[in-house]
Structure 1
Amino acid sequence: MTTTMPAPATFEVTSPATGQVVGVHPLGSTRDVEDTVARARGAADWWASLGFAERARRLDAWRGIIARRATELADLVHREMGKPPADAMLEIAMALEHLAWAAKNSGKVLGRRSVRSSALTVNQSASVEYLPLGVVGVIGPWNYPVFTPLGSLSFALAAGNTVIYKPSEYTPGVGVWLIEAFTKAVPEHPVLQVVTGDGSTGAALCRSKVNKIGFTGSTATGKKVMAACAESLTPVLMECGGKDALIVNADADVDSAADAAVWGGLSNAGQTCLGVERVYVHDKVFDEFVDQVVTLASRIRAGSDTDAHIGPMTMPSQVDVIRRHIDDALDKGGRAVLGGPDAVEGRFVQPTVLVDVPEDSIAVTEETFGPTFVVSRVRNMDEAVERANASRYGLGVSVFSRKHGEDIARRIRTGAVSVNSYVLYAAVPGLPLGGVDDSGFGRVHGADGLREFTFPRAMTRQRFPSVLPLTTFRRTRLVDSLVRVLITVLHGRN
């Protein structure tokens, strides 16, 4: 009698623009995740033993493959999540910059360095180095399926970890593509692997006892990830939502500020955690700013054709969120100077700019994640700062002011600030990126991003016997007296 094994569970990925199936992928089970983690543990010692220079060489080879096949990857991003191929290419370009930085700088940031001893430990040679954690799990988002996960994947790999990537169920093909490209550069061992699936697959990865989870997604999902990881004390890196503000002072270049607001609020159809959702404009330039914003935003069109500037809502449920935010803003006295309820056309949302919206509207307090933003009039920059800081999110902020931009920016509680530009801190590979409060904790990019996937190990080595043997029961009363004298000399005058 022949026993028929059940077919593995799969799920379909459909284009948000056309509804057509663009891929079928395995629905990873707990057993699948456990087997993947076991393979990663088996490869961990080999990858760590290669050292910084050899790992960098292989990461550079991966970067070269991605660059040469970037058009293919951009088209896949377009088919799975809907953004125009040109925007996908921009995302790929930024990701490659960060991958290059991680490979080049990992040894400098994480390698062993000497640390100066103190007066009481002058006989000790001291050093610190940053060692890989082991196996890292990364749970990635769908809105920037190349740039965002590579902020964790490339830095964790450069630090010497093996990695398991669970991409969003909306863009699993992009994740599979990236891992297949890596395997061509590093064919010897399963250093970087992918498991596709839904939330249950991500939960299994959280409970798999990997050495750390790097998560990017909504704050609500982030809390679930933390709860699952807490069961095994697995540390987490949280890149969560935002409600970023853009502030325009009276002395700002209004044209530049309006252009930044339109790009920051509408690019990627507003599906950006660092997107501009609130704009606070000084009363003296408010009318001029709104006129310029409407002029620029009215030229932007959502669609699936090659001439469209922005694509569809990738998640079907997001359409209802956007509609609810627009309706609430208007019900509470706000006005739509562009777009409005009629801007929602199936999975496509045309640009919408709202004014006169009270601060307690959900369009101001909750993450919208669509091509809409609120522009509010303020009397001065004190009021702008107060309103910007009233949000429970603290991801990024943009400030436009010719003379006072940095002073204003320093008063706002966010993980990143950009003065007289929008979001360029995310494009500088050496800068850390991350938020505070409900926007999460931990950092990707830069030296902080490399250290995020390591643990520091301190080391001392005795160079010669101490003239003041302190940590021994053979310590004499003379030594105790000298210690009291040293305390007074070294610290008592302060």
Structure 2
Amino acid sequence: MTSTTQAVETFDSLNPATDEVVGTYPVHTDDDVNTAVAKAREAFRWWASLGFAERAERLRRWKGIIARRLPELCAVVSAETGKPAGDAQLEVVLAVEHIEWAARNARRVLGPKRRSPGLLLANHAATVEYQPLGVVGVIGPWNYPVFTPLGSIGYALAAGNAVVFKPSEYTPGVGAWLVDAFAEAVPEHPVLQLVTGFGATGAALTRADVDKIAFTGSAATGRKIMAAAAERLTPVIIEAGGKDPLLVDADADLDAAADAAVWGAFSNAGQTCVGVERVYVHAAVYDEFVGKVTERARTVRPGEHYGPMTMRSQLEVVRRHIADALARGGRALLGGTDAVGDRYVRPTVLVEVPEDSEAVREETFGPTVVVMRVSDMDEAVEKANDSRYGLGATVFSRRRGMELARRLRTGMTSVNAPLSFAGIASLPFGGVGDSGFGRIHGPEGLREFARPKAVARQRFRVPLALTTFARSAKTDEFVGRLIATWHGRHGGRDKWNRR
């Protein structure tokens, strides 16, 4: 809902379970966004000048506010997304861990390091360090409105950047809470700012004078972000969803695998980019596994274990995918098209679904799961990789877990536990293919928000000067012999040195 008051357009944030108004926020215009970016540019100079230790101390203040007011933030998350308080707390707790990791490790990852100068320039000292980019624009999602954007914001701030944050129009209150908490911890300058609105506001941020854009959302919107950013050659990080598989080998712990499948598929109403949407099970344990999954899924209740569909339009996507699967010969062991209600979707377990169905090929983003029988794990890997997505995956196997994990075309894989890579702050998070590119979290995430700066410093002069017009023919001859002797000894003899 939008309204106009004193020429300022606003919109309401609604509780998806009740349609109650949670809060009202401005629709920021292009001028508003450009003003925020200009303020961030000034704030960046101060923030970058603090150095790693002082930035870390301030990030820990922010982390402390979040931790102390955990119930307050969780209440905002629950109100805007409809997710249970426990699930809201889980994502906030993980986000706090990531802020701490980024603050603690930024100097180690980004600080100056020596490099070897090599043979020809042995009289030099070579170093590389990572310097902040400047202003980073972060466009966040609604499904995990704390954990996901802070994976960019926290790391960008630790690297020394200022940030302008545009949260989803479904969760502006969460974004406002986080930015206000940061301003309390760092009151000196507007290092982290908020802009709110719809797609046009996000597009304005992408076109603004930012040094990088970090976006989480659909692949279709990601392409638009890239096209707009290309006008200024602004680099981007894209995390664009997935169709994540779970592989179950014949020697797997079936109880643990079934529990992981149910939680991975149905938690957060299936609205998880790394959630389990496809399961490939070895034929030797298929029937037993399916029985365990169905039994557990029957105990999962919408409104108690997970919330409503945050985006009402997603209900039709879920209904269409289920209907297509059934029309192509699939069976619903639990749920089905009638599981899709006005706000909630009951758990749906589908089997015998063809690989070319929408339920297998497209991201459903709802509480459904497709379980398929495979003759062996080679077939499982082949079918799991036959997707334009490549975000996360899970493998359950006692003997071959690591082998299978390495063979999967995904950015992340968890072995014998569901989605644990997301909770380990030192591991990079991101995908391949239509799941996007670039990484948040871990050392790779810190480096995404910094630029490498190489410095070569001559320590002393040598007679063998190569970068001068005064270089003699005798010098060239000596260098040629030196390189031939040093590097030519590898690879055997040839017709020029058979003597």
Which position in structure 2 is the counterpart of 1:67?
67
The structural deviation recorded for 1:6 is 3.7
The structural deviation recorded for 1:5 is 9.2
For 1:266-294, what per-residue CA distance to the aligned partner results, in whole angstroms no more than 9, with x for missing partners? 00000000000000000010000000001
The structural deviation recorded for 1:7 is 2.6
Task: Summarize the alignment of residues 294-373 of structure 1 with structure 2, pairs less than 5 Å apart.
Answer: 294-303=294-303, 308-373=304-369
Q: SS of the residue aligned with 1:396? A: coil
Q: SS of the residue aligned with 1:266? A: helix
Q: Do structure 1's residue 176 and structure 2's residue 163 form an aligned pair?
A: no
AA aligned opposite 1:357: V
Which position in structure 1 is the counterpart of 2:494?
none
Matched-pair identity in %: 63
Task: Summarize the alignment of residues 120-199 of structure 1 with structure 2, pairs less than 5 Å apart.
Answer: 120-199=120-199
For 1:85-138, what per-residue CA distance to the aligned partner results, in whole angstroms no more than 9, with x for missing partners? 110001011000000000000001000111111000001011000000000000
Residues 34, 209 of structure 2: 8 Å contact kept: no
Q: Do structure 1's residue 486 and structure 2's residue 482 form an aligned pair?
A: yes
Task: Give distance in 1, aligned partners of 2:334 and 2:489.
Answer: 67
Which position in structure 2 is the counterpart of 1:43?
43
Task: Give distance in 2, aligned partners of 1:443 and 1:5.
Answer: 41
Task: Give distance in 2, aligned partners of 1:409 and 1:34.
Answer: 44
For 1:338-366, what per-residue CA distance to the aligned partner results, in whole angstroms no more than 9, with x for missing partners? 11111111110000000000000000000
Runs of 4+ off more than 4 Å:
none
Structure 1 residue runs of 5 or longer lacking an equivalent are none
Task: Summarize the alignment of residues 2-401 of structure 1 with structure 2, pairs less than 5 Å apart.
Answer: 6-303=6-303, 308-401=304-397
Q: Do structure 1's residue 435 and structure 2's residue 431 form an aligned pair?
A: yes
Q: SS of the residue aligned with 1:168? A: coil
Which position in structure 2 is the counterpart of 1:404?
400
Aligned length: 487
Cα RMSD of the aligned pairs, angstroms, is: 1.0
Task: Give distance in 1, aligned partners of 2:92 and 2:485.
Answer: 58
For 1:209-240, what per-residue CA distance to the aligned partner results, in whole angstroms no more than 9, with x for missing partners? 20000001111111111111111111000111
Q: SS of the residue aligned with 2:256? A: helix
Task: Give distance in 2, aligned partners of 1:467 and 1:284.
Answer: 73
* TM-score, L = length of structure 2: 0.97
Which position in structure 1 is the counterpart of 2:459?
463
Task: Give distance in 2, aligned partners of 1:41 and 1:466.
Answer: 44
AA aligned opposite 1:476: S
* TM-score, L = length of structure 1: 0.98
Task: Give distance in 2, aligned partners of 1:154 and 1:204.
Answer: 22
For 1:459-494, what per-residue CA distance to the aligned partner results, in whole angstroms no more than 9, with x for missing partners? 011100123100100001111011111211221122
Q: SS of the residue aligned with 2:413? A: strand
Task: Give distance in 2, aligned partners of 1:313 and 1:5.
Answer: 30
Task: Give distance in 1, aligned partners of 2:247 and 2:295.
Answer: 19
Q: SS of the residue aligned with 2:8? A: coil
Task: Give distance in 2, aligned partners of 1:371 and 1:30.
Answer: 37
Q: SS of the residue aligned with 1:76? A: helix
Task: Give distance in 1, aligned partners of 2:420 and 2:39.
Answer: 38
Q: SS of the residue aligned with 1:368? A: coil
Residues 248, 395 of structure 2: 8 Å contact kept: yes
Q: SS of the residue aligned with 1:73? A: helix
Task: Give distance in 2, aligned partners of 1:221 and 1:347.
Answer: 24
